[in-house]
Amino acid sequence: MSLRLGDIAPDFKAQSTEGEISFHDYLGNSWGVLFSHPADYTPVCTTELGKTALLKSEFEKRNVKALAVSVDPLDSHLGWRNDINETNNCSVDFPILADPDRNIATLYDMIHPNASEKATVRSLFIIGPDKKVKLIITYPASTGRNFQEVLRVIDSLQLTANHSVATPADWKQGEDVIIVPSISTEDAIKKFPKGVKEVKPYLRYTPQPNI
C-alpha cells in the first residue's frame, strides 16, 4: 500500500555519508525532509543536493533536518559529494543515504515501474516531529524540485500546526491567512486580535498570528 498523508513515516537504518542513520532517532524532535534521487552523478540531482546545502541556514531556522537517498552504494555517494561541493560551491554536510538493496525506496514507494523499473522517481516527503507524513511531492526524474516551494510548505505546516488557520493559494511568510471554518466569526474576533476580514461567511482572513 502506498504511503499517505498522516501515516507514520516508516523507520529504517541505513549507511550514509554522515555514518549510520536510524531514521526516527536521527530526526528526534525535528521536522524532516527526505528526498530521493534516481542515481548518483546525474546532472539534475547534483543541482538539487547543492541547493539543499546552500539553504542550510533556512532549514536550520525551521528546525528541519534534510536527508537525501539514492539506490547507489556509499562509496559512490562519497565521490559524488565532492562533485556536488565543487560544482555548486557548497559543503554537503547532511546525510546522503545509501540504499543499494532498495529497502528505503520500497518503504516509501519511490520506484514507479511504469516510469523506470530500477531508478527512483524524484519523491520528497516532509515529516513532522510526530513522525507523521505531512507532505508528499513526486516529480519525474527529469524535473528538478522547487526548494522555495518546499520551504513555503514547511512554513505553512508549522504555522497551521500551532494556530487555527490555513494558508491561501500562493501564500508566503508574512501574508494574511485564512481562519478555519470550524471557528465561528464571533470566536475568531476574540481569538485573532489583529482583526478579521470576512469576504464570505466561510472565507475569512486575518494577519499571520505568529509574527
**Which of the residues are catalytic?**
45
Q: What would the grid cell of residue 126 be? A: 516532509
The CA distances from residue 37 to 61, 132, 145, 180, in Å, are: 25, 22, 11, 36
Strand partners, 124: 35, 137
Rounded to a whole number of angstroms, the CA Rg of the chain reads 19
Residue that has been written with the C-alpha cell 531508478 in this structure: 119
**Each residue of 84-115: b (16+ CB within 10 Å) or e?**
bbeebebebebbbbbbeeebbbeebbbbeeee
